[in-house]
Amino acid sequence: MSPKHLLLLGGYGNTGLPLARLLLAHSDCSITLAGRSLEKARQAAERLNAQIPGNRVRAACTDAADVSSLRQAFQGADMVVVVSSTAEYAENVARAALESRADYFDVQYGKAKMDCLQSLAEEIEAAGRCFITDGGFHPGLPAAMVRFVAPHFERLESANVGSVIQIDWGRLDLSPATLREFVAEFMSFQTLHFKDGRWQEMSALAMMFPRFMDFGGEFRRRYCLPMFLEEMRALPEMYPSLRETGFFVGGFNWFVDWFLSPLILVGLKLFPQKGATPLANLMFWGLKTFSRPPYGTLLKLEARGIKHGAPHIAEMTIAHPDGYMLTAIPAAACLLQVLEGGVRQPGLWLQAHIVEPRRFFGDMQRMGAAIRTVGLDEPAK
Ligand SMILES: NC(=O)c1ccc[n+]([C@@H]2O[C@H](COP(=O)([O-])OP(=O)(O)OC[C@H]3O[C@@H](n4cnc5c(N)ncnc54)[C@H](OP(=O)(O)O)[C@@H]3O)[C@@H](O)[C@H]2O)c1
């Protein structure tokens, strides 16, 4: 099989660069780093070529807002990997990938992007292309963790995944587009979670009394709110014994959680267009000013059910000190499975559902994620 060529849209960004490094280190693929600045793409490509043998990295200039520039950039790519804050241009990117006969992978979160890709699902399958969406760590990991743990139970009854994202925001260089996208996504999340055998939203009153999860170690007990991820939707059908499942996101810091978030929510409702940039800047200021160590990113699955006829509890935690590495590592682990052809199938898939979980988490560990399990000594059946 000849080496594949991947175009990373946003390839010189915070997620794109570590992903490019991992793909070059763990596969024989070649890569084009692309974004709106040819200069930044060139400099990043030169650095990677100097660090990793084989001269496998090129640079390109393209703007997701401009379909013809995308078509030109995507020529010759076997796969387009979207690590850019361009969810608003999802249709441009997906259509240009289809027209260029390229496969597709993204790490974006957002309902509009998901709706757009779902509306293209038949076209994607008919064209024989493999499109994978919701890559990264969240979305991307929670349902894969449940799939990994489920075979260790005869009856899986409860599987909740919580997250801590404690970042030193002051050290990050985020583009204005990324900030706007981040705030818009954060403010539009749904609180759907599966409880007592049915999907339910959390009421505004219930949000005043969030659930607590114990993340152990330096992160300890934290309050969390449910955040619906598309990958969780199919779990009750896949495991009919499930009575409870959901993804729960921990807060950022006291000031952003209790003061800024409600303010920004109201601001965005009143001024969705004009308010986006100043409110995104306000959010970033709150994140930079009030976030404190310990820094790190962690996901924890708490699972309950029946094993060998008796009640059983299992846990799985995945952590990395750098949140961007924890985004790039699962993306790279998924792409390795696709590049080798093992899981590649025509159609629209979610990362958490298309990966083979054992190899996926094994590769993630090899790439530097700290994975710890409790109560998973041997599969139940
Ligand atoms: N699933 C997960 O776990 C997860 C975790 C973290 C981040 N993410 C997502 O990953 C994406 C990237 O985040 P990041 O923090 O890595 O962002 P970032 O560091 O700001 O990088 C964004 C990249 O996108 C490029 N870009 C922005 N607008 C573009 C356009 N119109 N056309 C072409 N390229 C464009 C930027 O380059 P130019 O501005 O020079 O064009 C830059 O290279 C976001 O959508 C974010 O939500 C997902």
Is residue 168 pLDDT above 60, yes or no? yes
Size of the chain in residues: 381
Residue 236: asked if its preceding bond is cis (omega within 30°), the reply is no
Q: Give the burial string for 156-165 (b: 16+ CB within 10 Å, else e).
A: bbbbbbbbbb
> Can you tell me which atom of ligand 1 is nearest the CA of 16?
16
Continuous segment of H or E residues that includes residue 106: strand 103-106
Our mutation pick for probing the ligand 1 site, out of 178, 188, 351, counting the most ligand atoms within 8 A of Cβ, is: 178
Return d(Cα 163, Cα 237) in angstroms, integer.
24
Pocket lining: 41 vs ligand 1, CB cutoff 6 Å: no
| pLDDT average, residue stretch 65-79 | 97
Q: Which residues contact 317 (CB under 8 A, 6 or more apart)?
A: 215, 216, 298, 299, 300, 301, 370, 371, 372, 373
Share of the chain above pLDDT 90, in %: 73
Residue nearest to atom 47 of ligand 1 (CA): 108
* Beta pairing, strands 244-250 & 198-200: unpaired
**DSSP code of 89?**
G
Q: Band of the pLDDT at 378, cuts 50, 70, 90?
A: low
Return d(Cα 211, Cα 363) in angstroms, integer.
32
Our mutation pick for probing the ligand 1 site, out of 7, 83, 137, 167, counting the most ligand atoms within 8 A of Cβ, is: 83
- What confidence tens digit (pLDDT) does each residue in 75-102 have? 999 999 999 999 999 999 999 999 999 9
- C-beta of residue 215 within 8 angstroms of C-beta of residue 164: yes
Span from the CA of 122 to the centroid of ligand 1 (angstroms): 27
Question: What's the confidence (pLDDT) of residue 311?
Answer: 97
Name the least confident of 74-78, 155-159, 282-286. Answer: 282-286
> Can you tell me which atom of ligand 1 is nearest the CA of 330?
3
- C-beta of residue 10 within 8 angstroms of C-beta of residue 84: yes
Pocket lining: 236 vs ligand 1, CB cutoff 6 Å: no
Pocket lining: 166 vs ligand 1, CB cutoff 6 Å: no
Pocket lining: 178 vs ligand 1, CB cutoff 6 Å: yes
- C-beta of residue 40 within 8 angstroms of C-beta of residue 353: no
Residue nearest to atom 45 of ligand 1 (CA): 85
Our mutation pick for probing the ligand 1 site, out of 7, 12, 15, counting the most ligand atoms within 8 A of Cβ, is: 15
Pocket lining: 302 vs ligand 1, CB cutoff 6 Å: no
> Can you tell me which atom of ligand 1 is nearest the CA of 174?
20
Pocket lining: 206 vs ligand 1, CB cutoff 6 Å: no
User: Which whole-number Å values give the CA distances from 219 to 164, 212, 252, 315, 317, in the listed order?
Assistant: 8, 12, 12, 16, 12
According to DSSP, the residues that pair with 371 across neighbouring strands are 318
Span from the CA of 275 to the centroid of ligand 1 (angstroms): 21
Pocket lining: 16 vs ligand 1, CB cutoff 6 Å: yes
Question: What's the confidence (pLDDT) of residue 266?
Answer: 84
Look-up of token digits 């199919």: 234
Domains and CATH numbers, the chain: 5-136+325-360 (3.40.50.720), 142-322+364-374 (3.30.360.10)
Is residue 315 pLDDT above 60, yes or no? yes
Pocket lining: 296 vs ligand 1, CB cutoff 6 Å: no
Note the pTM of the prediction, 2 decimals: 0.94
Q: Band of the pLDDT at 67, cuts 50, 70, 90?
A: very high
| pLDDT average, residue stretch 334-340 | 96
* Token pair in block for residue 33: 């780093």
According to DSSP, the residues that pair with 301 across neighbouring strands are 161, 316
**Short-list 29, 28, 35, CA closest to 5:** 29
**Short-list 18, 80, 28, 76, CA closest to 53:** 28
Our mutation pick for probing the ligand 1 site, out of 9, 14, 43, 85, counting the most ligand atoms within 8 A of Cβ, is: 85
Pocket lining: 154 vs ligand 1, CB cutoff 6 Å: no
Question: What's the confidence (pLDDT) of residue 61?
Answer: 98
Q: Band of the pLDDT at 275, cuts 50, 70, 90?
A: confident
**Short-list 379, 240, 218, CA closest to 296:** 218
Return d(Cα 238, Cα 124) in angstroms, integer.
24
> Can you tell me which atom of ligand 1 is nearest the CA of 87?
45
Single-letter amino acid, residue 336 = L
Return d(Cα 8, Cα 79) in angstroms, integer.
9
Span from the CA of 92 to the centroid of ligand 1 (angstroms): 16
Pocket lining: 64 vs ligand 1, CB cutoff 6 Å: yes
* Beta pairing, strands 211-214 & 221-226: antiparallel
Question: What's the confidence (pLDDT) of residue 310?
Answer: 97
